[in-house]
Amino acid sequence: MKIFFSEKCLEYSQPGHPESPARVSSTYRFLKEKGLEFIEPAPCGDEDILLAHTPELLNAVKGESFFDMDTPALPGIFEHARLAAGSAIDAARQCLKGEMTFSLMRPPGHHATGNRLGGFCYFNNIAIAVLKIKEQIGESDRPGKIAIIDFDCHHGNGTEDIFLNRNDFL
């Protein structure tokens, strides 16, 4: 299994906030002890983010010009968020080549809707990844429908919002 991970995702935090580096670092240590392969991801570009999000959301996160108690405008958060989304794209690309992959990054993404951040999520990493991959796959190689299975303990409202009215996703 290939694990996409960057120690850069451990560089930011807010005291007392539940979405903290510890959430990922303990998993990293566990998987590292198992001898799994770790790959440094590449950040995604603005054009990738715009596959799932509005220009207004992109610019708000880029300019750190928003207010949300759960999803704070931390210095440099745009770079961290685009690295997490890029990691999801990299993992999806390798998965299409038959590799088992996992993106172990933060910030998470499933609460970010097309036009709104929230719930610790700035951009919807999985939505960006599957839309990017779908864009790059030739028409004859595309699957009929794509299923996104979110096994978090609560609803991924952002992912639902982005794909709700599309007939090419389950």
Q: In whole angstroms, what is the distance from residue 117 CA to residue 71 CA?
A: 7
Q: In whole angstroms, what is the distance from residue 53 CA to residue 63 CA?
A: 15
> Catalytic pick from 53, 80, 110, 111?
111
Q: In whole angstroms, what is the distance from residue 103 CA to residue 92 CA?
A: 9
Q: How far is CA 57 from CA 49, 62, 63, 92, 113, in A?
A: 9, 8, 10, 24, 9
Q: Is residue 53 flagged as an active site residue?
A: no
Q: In whole angstroms, what is the distance from residue 116 CA to residue 121 CA?
A: 9
Q: Which positions are annotated as active-site residues? A: 111
